[in-house]
A = this chain, B = another copy of it.
Amino acid sequence: MINGEKFLEKPIRWAMIGGGRGSQIGYIHRSAALRDSNFELVAGAFDIDPERGKDFGKKLYVDPDRCYTDYKSLIENEAKRSDGVQAVSIATPNFTHFEIAKAALEAGLHVYCEKPMCFSTDQAEELAQLVKKSGKVMFISYGYCGHQMIEQARQIIARGDIGKVRIINAQFAHGGNSAAVEKKSGAAAWRVDPKKSGPSFVMGDLGTHPLYLIEAICPELKIKRVMCSKQSFVEGRTLEDNAMSIMEYNTGAIAYIWSSSVNAGADFGFTFRIVGEKGSIAWDAEHPNQLAYQIQGQAPSVLQRGAGYLYDEARADDRIGGGHPEGLFEAWSNLYTKFAKAIDKSEKGEKIDFWYPDVNAGVEGVKWVEKCVESADNNGAWINY
């Protein structure tokens, strides 16, 4: 049970790049990082407007001198200080992730990076090499994997409770872009702009989330080949707003991921079902405190977060006890807790002996999008991995 006591002697000096006023995602990064006293927000490149950035920083108790207008000056200036930042979180538009992450790693900083990590497998491999060389910690912000029930799911698979995995049926399919909302909203506009969003809209933005949960829960599955059919239903879009992907794995398992932002009327639509030889587990991100657990021939049941019958690994993530609902903020807090632990181990030269969404998770996501796009662009042909 987590209760907010810091476990580090000194909190990690931490900065945010992006995530300033008006950003939706900035707040949850800060809440998650600062909640348990293991991070201290000491600097930021929150905003390209210097005044607004300083004012924002002030509202967060950040020294105005350490509120920068761009990531380069942040990295450069902080490097000169004896109390300079040790870690940064990157919450900028997608097309900037690669260069910022690269610069931060090269400057010897630990990095917590929004997804997608970058746009091409080449870039992704470059970052992976850099992480390896630098020995620094890099987290990819697949925030949903911080939910306790995802840990429970992972343990269920690891212990063979539902048998060998056969089939996965997953989706992240909301309806927010059913109409041409990009004509009115800037945030919607850059997501459908190939220059800023990369080779994909919904697979990169949405589909990589269930993709990563599958990796996290079923670490033994490796994709052998993939096929994809993608569509742009709303006129004027060059990037896809809907995609159906099928993956074959080395183990004989098969998976289907539906990525969509035109699933009109659906609020969130992020779910998965993992089918094994003996039973299945299923999860819905809108109700993250529950995990369906169904064994063939038995009455279907629903595991509840915080319950005594969960595995210890899942219970360790608990913050409030059963019944009371935890939400996405707790999931992210669990990940930032891991980030702090990983940094601490890294700095002490210890082995990081727990799983987290690491740079390879970033590589996998980029590669999957690339391969799916290749398949769809080749008339839905199967593409080997």
Measured CB to CB, the residues of A under 8 A from B are: 1-7, 21, 23-24, 26-28, 30-31, 34-35, 37, 56, 59-61, 162-163, 166-167, 169, 171, 173-175, 178-179, 227, 229, 231, 233, 242, 244, 246, 248, 252, 254, 256, 258, 260, 262-268, 270, 273, 275-280, 285-289, 293-304, 307-309, 319-330, 379-382
Contacts and interface: CB of A to CB of B under 8 A. Distances in A.
Contacts of A35: 31, 34-35
B265 A300 contact: yes
A28 B268 contact: no
Contacts of A26: 3
Given A265-B279, A296-B178, A320-B28, A60 B6 contact: yes
A231 B255 CA distance: 12
Given A174-B323, A301-B299, A309-B299, A60 B166 contact: no
B5 A262 contact: no
A269 B116 CA distance: 33
Contact of A162 (B233, B264, B300): B264
A178 B244 CA distance: 25
A35 B329 CA distance: 11
A263 B327 contact: no
Contacts of A279: 175, 264-265
Q: How many copies does the complex hold?
A: 4
Contacts of A163: 264
Given A5-B21, A242-B167, A323-B174, A275 B262 contact: yes
Nearest to A26: B3
A41 to B, nearest CB: 10
A188 to B, nearest CB: 13
A147 to B, nearest CB: 9
A329 B79 CA distance: 36
A246 B248 contact: no
Contact of A325 (B56, B275, B303, B327): B327
Given A231-B252, A275-B263, A277-B178, A382 B379 contact: yes
A2 B297 CA distance: 22
B246 A229 contact: yes
Given A167-B263, A264-B278, A324-B268, A59 B37 contact: yes
Given A264-B276, A299-B304, A325 B288 contact: yes
A166 B303 CA distance: 25
Given A167-B242, A229-B248, A233-B277, 20 more contacts: A3-B23, A5-B56, A27-B319, A28-B320, A167-B263, A229-B246, A231-B254, A262-B275, A264-B280, A267-B323, A285-B324, A286-B289, A299-B309, A300-B304, A301-B302, A324-B327, A327-B330, A329-B329, A379-B382, A381-B381
